[in-house]
Amino acid sequence: MEMRMVQAMIREKEKIKILTIVILLGISCFLTYYFHIVLKTAVIFTHFFYIPIILACIWWRRKGLLVAILLAAILIFSQIIFKDGVVNINDYIRAFMFMVIAFVVAALSEKISKGHEETERQKNFSENIITTVPQSLLILDKDLRIKKANLTFYQLFQTRPEKAIGSNLCDLLPDKEGKLKNELTRIVGTENILEGFEILYQSKKLGERVLNIIAKGMTIEEEEEEVILIQDITERKQMEEKLRRFNEELELEVEERTKDLLKEKNYTRHLIESSTDFQLTIDDDGKIMDVNRAFEEFVGKSRGDVIGTSIYDYLPRKDIESFIKEIFEKKKVRNIELSIEVPGKEILYYNLSGTLFTTLDGELGVYISARDMTEVRRQHDELLAKEKQLAHTSRLSTLGEMASAMAHEINQPLSIISMVAEGIFRDIEKDRIDISLLPKDLEDILFSINRIDRIITHMRTFARQPGEWKLIEPEQILNNAFIILSEQFRVHSIIVSRHIEKNLPPIKTDPNQLEQVFINILINADQVLNEKKSQKEQLGESFQKQMVVNIFQEGEDVVFEFADNGYGVPDEIKSRIFEPFFTTKDPGEGTGLGLSIAYSILNQSLDGRIWVEDNKMRGASFKVALPIEKENQKYKNKKEDRKNRGAI
């Protein structure tokens, strides 16, 4: 709307200008007519012609030349028309002067107009800067009265231009002591600058604000003024205060953290120093950087004497170099056994662990911790020896328990020998011996003798200490176990069925120890089945004792399964059934060592596994898994090939 009003005013002014020029041109034409026709003279009052020419050139600049050309033409043609074609030379000069004056005035008008436009542009530019600057900007006279201010100033101080212009700035600001007035007065008419003058101002709308005043004195057209820039730095001050508080809190936290770290460092150092494990750090060249007291005692030197020396001066180079190389490859290594020979003493065994770390200088280092395992190793060796002795004792105990069964097993072939021998003696006494039947009788005697020899030889072998490892067919070990137990199972009326998978690969093991594992499992099953049989008979129920033995391949293992139809193993004791001396029998009826010895033999000596599961007969299934040797993987591959061909 305001723009339209301005444009309408411009159009009205333009119409007035045109009307004025038209009137002046009409007067010029009238004067020409009056002088030529009425006064009958060739002299025209041409000075009046300069008025429309000058006005037209001032208003329209070079376009005003058209008015000069028109009046020059009127002057020349009027002389030609009214003076019979005779034109005075002075008229040409006057016409030329019209053009010259018009051109000069137009040029000056253009220059003045451009200067005015530039001034206006500079003024508008300055006004825009003042208006758009985010700070309060104002100009004061020498008496500190406000001459001009921007919109930000009016918004900050909640005032209007008509009220603010002409008022003293110090009256708007809280300057009871007059410090601001003195500072502003001091720089009036100078080129000095006032900076960093802060003052508190209570705004009705914004509350308490912190204002920063910057002022510069200046002189424009001999008039002393000041440019004032007022910055609202409340948010900055608040942030500075928050930052100050944060820094204080951070300093306190850093101080507390430093104390904690120092305490933690001292505590860690105390733990390291009091540790019985020797600990040290070395650089990537093997030079010792630090050690604890345990290492000092180990090498018999002080910490100061050890630092800077090579680790290879105290520990075996070959083993330690390999250990450090592995740490650099894996960054962390644990539980590496190291044996150290000390002259005049027994061999020491240490368990080493190491970690790669970065020093404060950015260099790589290695932390090494070593635990003395000599006593543990000695106790472990003693325990293994005792376990072997216990296993041997268990085998002898097993033989003792089965003495009556073995006696019956040997007595049968002895009876056959006795019967055949007695028959031969009777025939000899009665002189009725048949020589043709003698080879058959001797063959029966020899067969029985061989059977007795096989039983006795196997019992002697079973009673020995563990032997060497060798490849053996899985079924053969099972057969060896039943050489000892088959008669006992027959006497106890236990039906045994075997299911052996074909083409099983041989396994590499200690047959003697594995046989003991099987015998312990079978004796345990025999005892459970006898107990259940007695319980059923007391209740007047019938019960057939059964044992199923399966041998099959599962993955890379050969698995032996011994399943019975006894009581089974409750879930709550499955995890404890292989513990030493654990038994569910009444006191005096079992030692609880049979399954424990089997577990120990498999895990520590035979690299095997044993576990217990429930079976379909509601009894227990003890499973023993032994790994197939790598060189026997061909059996596994052949087996898979047969399966694949069968599938096709």
> Is domain 469-643 annotated with CATH 3.30.565.10?
yes
The span from the CA of 208 to the CA of 202, in Å, is 4
Q: What does the pLDDT average to over 294-320? A: 87
Q: Do 323 and 354 form a contact (C-beta atoms < 8 A)?
A: yes
The span from the CA of 75 to the CA of 183, in Å, is 70
* CA gyration radius, the chain: 62
Whole-Å CA distances, 476 to 383, 488, 514, 558, 582? 31, 19, 11, 13, 31
Residue with tokens 């490892």: 469
Residue type, 452: I
Residues 6+ apart with CB under 8 A from 339: 347, 348, 349, 350
Residue type, 248: E
Strand partners, 560: 551, 624
Q: What is the 3-state secondary structure (H, E, C) of 503-538?
A: CCCCEEECHHHHHHHHHHHHHHHHHHHHHHHHHHHH
Query: Half-sphere exposure of residue 11, counting CA atoms within 13 Å on the CB side?
Result: 6
The span from the CA of 559 to the CA of 628, in Å, is 10
Could you tell me the two tokens for 155?
Answer: 């918004």
- pLDDT winner (highest mean) among 38-52, 337-351, 609-623: 609-623
Q: What is the 3-state secondary structure (H, E, C) of 46-83?
A: HHHHHHHHHHHHHHHHHHHHHHHHHHHHHHHHHHHHHC
State the pLDDT at residue 501: 92
Residue type, 388: K
What tens digit of pLDDT does each residue of 492-509 get? 889 999 999 998 999 988
State the pLDDT at residue 638: 45
Q: What does the pLDDT average to over 591-608? A: 76
Q: Do 396 and 386 form a contact (C-beta atoms < 8 A)?
A: no
Q: Do 501 and 553 form a contact (C-beta atoms < 8 A)?
A: yes
Q: What is the helix (H) or strand (E) element at residue 408, kind and residue range?
A: helix 403-429
Render 336-397 in DSSP notation, one character per residue: EEEEE--TTSPPEEEEEEEEEEE-TTS-EEEEEEEEE-HHHHHHHHHHHHHHHHHHHHHHHH
3-state DSSP assignment of residue 286:
coil
Could you tell me the two tokens for 202?
Answer: 């209570």
Q: Do 62 and 106 form a contact (C-beta atoms < 8 A)?
A: yes
The span from the CA of 592 to the CA of 583, in Å, is 5
3-state DSSP assignment of residue 591:
coil
The C-alpha angle with vertex 394 and arms to 389 and 396, in degrees rounded to 5, equals 95
Instruction: Report the candidate in 452, 457, 463, 486 with the shortest Cα–Cα distance to residue 400.
Output: 463
Q: What does the pLDDT average to over 182-193? A: 82
State the pLDDT at residue 648: 28
Q: What does the pLDDT average to over 74-89? A: 67
Q: Do 299 and 316 form a contact (C-beta atoms < 8 A)?
A: no
The C-alpha angle with vertex 167 and arms to 161 and 168, in degrees rounded to 5, equals 135
The span from the CA of 90 to the CA of 411, in Å, is 178
Instruction: Report the candidate in 525, 523, 512 with the shortest Cα–Cα distance to residue 476.
Output: 512
DSSP-derived letter for residue 117 is H
Could you tell me the two tokens for 200?
Answer: 């508190």
pLDDT reading at 17 higher than 90: no
- Among 3.40.50.2300, 3.30.450.20, 3.30.110.40, 3.90.1150.10, name the CATH number for the domain at 133-232: 3.30.450.20
**Long-range pairs for 570-574 at CB < 8 Å and ≥24 separation?**
574/612
pLDDT reading at 548 higher than 90: yes
The CATH code of domain 281-372 reads 3.30.450.20
The span from the CA of 590 to the CA of 524, in Å, is 10
pLDDT reading at 646 higher than 50: no
pTM of the model: 0.40
Q: What does the pLDDT average to over 474-487? A: 82
Q: What does the pLDDT average to over 410-414? A: 67
3-state DSSP assignment of residue 495:
strand
The span from the CA of 463 to the CA of 398, in Å, is 9
The span from the CA of 378 to the CA of 425, in Å, is 64
For the chain, what percent of residues have pLDDT higher than 90?
A: 8
More confident residue, 419 or 641: 419
pLDDT reading at 358 higher than 60: yes
Lowest-pLDDT range of 223-227, 469-473, 551-555: 223-227
Task: Provide the total of helices (H) and of strands (E) in the chain, helices listed first.
Answer: 20, 17
The CATH code of domain 379-465 reads 1.10.287
| Fold: same for 133-232 and 281-372 | yes
Domain borders along the chain are 2-126, 133-232, 281-372, 379-465, 469-643
Render 205-258 in DSSP notation, one character per residue: TTEEEEEEEEEEEEEETTEEEEEEEEEE-HHHHHHHHHHHHHHHHHHHHHHHHH
Render 422-433 in DSSP notation, one character per residue: HHHHHHHHTT--
Lowest-pLDDT range of 148-157, 198-207, 429-438: 429-438
Instruction: Give me the chain's average pLDDT, please.
Output: 78
pLDDT reading at 321 higher than 70: yes
Strand partners, 136: 230
